[in-house]
Amino acid sequence: MLLGSLDQYLINGLVLGVIYAMVAVGFTLFFGVLNVIKFSHGDVLMAGAFAALIAYISLQNFVSISIWMMVVITTTFAFAAMALFGAIVARFLVLPLRGAPPLNTLLITLMLGLAVREAVRLFYPNGSNPKPFPKLLPDTDIFIFGLEIRHDSLIIIFGGLAAICFLHLLIKKTRLGLSIQAVAQDSETARLMGINFQKIVLGTFALGSGLAALAGVLNGLYYNEINFSMGLLLGVVGFSSAVVGGLGSILGAIIGGFLFALLQTIGAIWFEVPAYKDVFAFVVIIAVMAWRPTGLLAETKSDRV
């Protein structure tokens, strides 16, 4: 027996897919340019959602602005705050650890994630409890191809896709993107071309972290609730998606994100107990990894970003 209509499963799956893809792209970017796995990424997503919430609360009290303006301002603030945070983490935590075993970076960022999580829990007023996230998007229904879709879901899906496409174009079509690709493929030769390695690494971490913040905001807009530990599962899912797609490949990360959401959806339809959907998705991902240890779009040493 289905708990909801098939339409709803489909839309829900697409929303989750977009959000996972956005998180996975960050993992793949960081791995691409610096060969590191940054495990605080899920908590950056959470902090981004909280940054948007703080911006909303501060603005709502003393200015009257249109709801769309509010969406733009809060989202921009969350993006900018996390981009800055990402660059700072890269500068003072990740770059100094270059040359140390990769496991160290993984552990340090794991601890950083814990610190961010605990900081929100302790310092945000009543931070251990879930916080309502403002309903900024209209929840009226529209019909497309006979599907009943809520406006907010549609905006979230297209907003997320737009962000991913924007990032893709930035990497493929701009001077900054060319530098990022060059650093990812051969950082030493990139420096010989006159590329400032550190600047590109910081820029990449800023981009990836900003994208995670956007994912956090979309997540908040979708569920209308956020909490200090929301980044835990989203981080693990984003990481698994990036790995299953082939760490280092952006297209792989996007495919991985949607694949994970698809598996969860299948799991949710198949098993009547909702909690089984994650177990099902992870089991399949593990099976895929056993079959293709380097991911679906296998990354070789030279196959970067």
Measured CA distances, 139 to 22, 64, 65, 193 (Å): 23, 21, 20, 51
Alpha carbon of 61 to those of 25, 64, 130, 222: distances in Å? Answer: 35, 8, 21, 23
Nearest distance, CB of residue 103 and other proteins, angstroms: 23
Q: Does residue number 170 form part of the binding site for other proteins (CB under 8 A)?
A: no
Return the number of the residue (235 or 248) whose C-beta is nearest other proteins. 248
**Shortest separation between residue 67's beta carbon and other proteins, angstroms:** 41
Q: Does 188 bind other proteins (CB under 8 A)?
A: yes
Tell me if 23 sits within 8 A of 42, measured CB to CB.
yes
Out of 106, 154, 155, 178, name the contact with other proteins by CB under 8 A: 178
Number of C-beta neighbours around residue 251 at 10 A: 14
Residue 169 binds other proteins, judged by CB under 8 A? no
- CA atoms of 147 and 6, how far apart (whole Å): 9
- Helix H or strand E encompassing 150: strand 147-150
Minimum CB distance to other proteins, residue 178 (Å): 6
Nearer to other proteins, 153 or 249 (CB): 249
Tell me, by CB under 8 A, how many residues bind other proteins.
21
The residue from 78, 190, 237, 284 that contacts other proteins (CB under 8 A) is 190
Q: Cα dist. 177→159, 186, 241, 252, 304 in Å?
A: 21, 14, 23, 18, 12
Q: Stretches 47-55, 131-139, 182-190, 260-268: which one binds other proteins (CB under 8 A)?
A: 182-190
| Contact status: 294 vs other proteins (CB under 8 A) | no
Integer Rg of the chain from CA: 19
User: Which residue, 91 or 191, has its beta carbon nearer to other proteins?
Assistant: 191
Judged by the rule CB under 8 A, the positions of this chain that interact with other proteins are 175, 178-179, 181-182, 185-186, 188-197, 302-305
